[in-house]
Structure 1
Amino acid sequence: MIESVDLLLALCIALAAVLYSSVGHAGASAYIALMALFGIEAAVMRPTALVLNIIVASLASFRFLKAGLFRWRALWPFLVTAIPMAWLGGTIHLPSEIYRPLVGGVLWLSAARLLWPRELKVEREASDPPLLFALPMGAFIGLLAGLTGTGGGIFLSPLLLFMAWAPTRQASGIAAVFVLANSLAGLGGQIATLDALPPQLPLYAGAALIGGIIGTSIGLKVNIKLILKLLALVLLIAGAKLIGLY
């Protein structure tokens, strides 16, 4: 039986999916935070968040790819090493007192740069990320994604923008595919936890899907500067979650 608290959580999940999918992310960090606020058991949160991530990232990948907002050369050097490390990270359960605040701080610094008055030169012709940098960085991001139960888009998007390896909307499309692949790998590393998925999952999944439809429509149409501000907001929220402020 669906209770009012389940409906309220589903509504919050839908709103999170709107915000995150508008910038090519899928919202796992927000789903984890929401489930924690609603008293969901820790063993349930990470696999549930990854399932919702896969749903939203699948939709976002399809819509951004269909719109031509994707470049394979900017993705695969990160992805080829990120996928196995995301799987590995999903199998590891480490104390979070050290790495979570550090990662949260990095996300806050990235958000501050996106909000900096000096305009980012992200709409010029994009260059290709060098393999000697992208391969180890992809492994690092994939490991962080697996450890934190996210898809890694919150780490990849700012990097693509700061290094001018993709314009803003294309960075969203690249991040969406990256998130989808890492979420699948991360869930594979947690295959033993799938029996912990809650009975309310269909409700949450439907809410995430609706939110993803709305969010990707926003991301494909709104002003570039607004997308950057939305991305900064996403990074601030995710950073606060990792640091433990809520």
Structure 2
Amino acid sequence: MELNDLLFGALIFIVALLYSSVGHGGASGYLAILSFLSISPNQMSTTSLVLNILVSTISFIFYLREGYFSFKLTLPFILASVPAAFLGGLLHIEAKTYYLLLAMVLILASVHLFINFQGDKKVKIQLPKLYLILSSGAGIGFISGLIGLGGGIFLSPLIILMKWADPKVTSASSAFFILVNSISGLCGKAVSNSIDFGVLTPFIFFALSGGFLGSYLGSKKFSPQVLKRMLGIVLIIAALKLILR
């Protein structure tokens, strides 16, 4: 393995660790890292989705075992988002448009990392109205499938700010939401594109290792706010690079 592979692998490990600690798969972070490589938008999105599936699976298992998963909260979002994510994954967009959309998402993700969405830990779960579930779930799913995300960076702030669940339940719900939507989005892309395992393979070990450690720490008690903000700076730099591309 070359030095560059080790460097990017280490970054993948850090992203997987930090994101999985809050129930996320890390797709926005992977896309930021992959933007520094000379690969196509299709390679970027499919690679990030596969890594997302691996890490979010680990994260979900840890949070599920700790008893934080709410089926009632998560299922309606899943039903609305899965077909939308598949549709988004089917669509082809120009490279310039893709990079612009990705830059906007990375900026949003960086804001999410800078703001401490702790919410009220004693909040009681209050299920949202059906139209809110369907509209937000479908919207998040479509954008996620189109760009190559799992949707956690949209769903988590929404649940916390609307006081639909506490942070731990939010992390568990987001992990499952990300897992299912990533699979749906990847299936959509697989219909019209091929997955380049040459790009993907070197990063799998690093993503799994980071995801395992982050999920373990996050499901117990862990909130690395300083490191998350450092990662936020990296996302902003990557976003600026994409805008100026």
TM-score range, shorter chain: 0.7 to 0.9
Specify the alignment match of 1:156 in structure 2. 155
Residues 38 and 99 (structure 1), Cα distance of their counterparts in 2 relative to 1, 3 Å cut: closer
Length, aligned pairs only? 240
Deviation at 1:38, TM superposition (A): 3.2
Deviation at 1:140, TM superposition (A): 0.3
Alignment gaps of 5+ in structure 2? none
Moved over 6 A (4+): 227-236
Residues 18 and 245 (structure 1), Cα distance of their counterparts in 2 relative to 1, 3 Å cut: farther
Deviation at 1:202, TM superposition (A): 3.3
Specify the alignment match of 1:10 in structure 2. 9
Q: CA-atom RMSD, angstroms? A: 2.8
Q: Which amino acid aligns with 2:17?
A: V
Specify the alignment match of 1:121 in structure 2. 120
> 1:114–1:232: 8 Å Cα contact kept in structure 2?
no
Alignment gaps of 5+ in structure 1? none
> 2:110–2:236: 8 Å Cα contact kept in structure 1?
yes
Name the CA distance, whole Å, in 2 between partners of 1:107 and 1:143: 17
Specify the alignment match of 1:47 in structure 2. 46
Specify the alignment match of 1:182 in structure 2. 181
Residues 204 and 184 (structure 1), Cα distance of their counterparts in 2 relative to 1, 3 Å cut: same
Specify the alignment match of 1:167 in structure 2. 166
Deviation per residue, 1:189-239 (Å, 9 max, x gap):
11146644132533311111100011011212225xx37777777677657
Deviation at 1:144, TM superposition (A): 1.1
Deviation at 1:81, TM superposition (A): 1.0
Name the CA distance, whole Å, in 1 between partners of 2:198 and 2:100: 33
Specify the alignment match of 1:197 in structure 2. 196
With structure 2 as the length reference, what TM-score do the two structures score? 0.85
Name the CA distance, whole Å, in 2 between partners of 1:109 and 1:8: 25
| Further displaced range: 194-203 or 8-17 | 194-203
Specify the alignment match of 1:83 in structure 2. 82
Specify the alignment match of 1:58 in structure 2. 57
Q: Which amino acid aligns with 1:89?
A: G
> 1:43–1:193: 8 Å Cα contact kept in structure 2?
no
Deviation at 1:120, TM superposition (A): 3.4
Q: Which amino acid aligns with 1:143?
A: F
With structure 1 as the length reference, what TM-score do the two structures score? 0.84
Specify the alignment match of 1:140 in structure 2. 139
Name the CA distance, whole Å, in 2 between partners of 1:92 and 1:27: 22
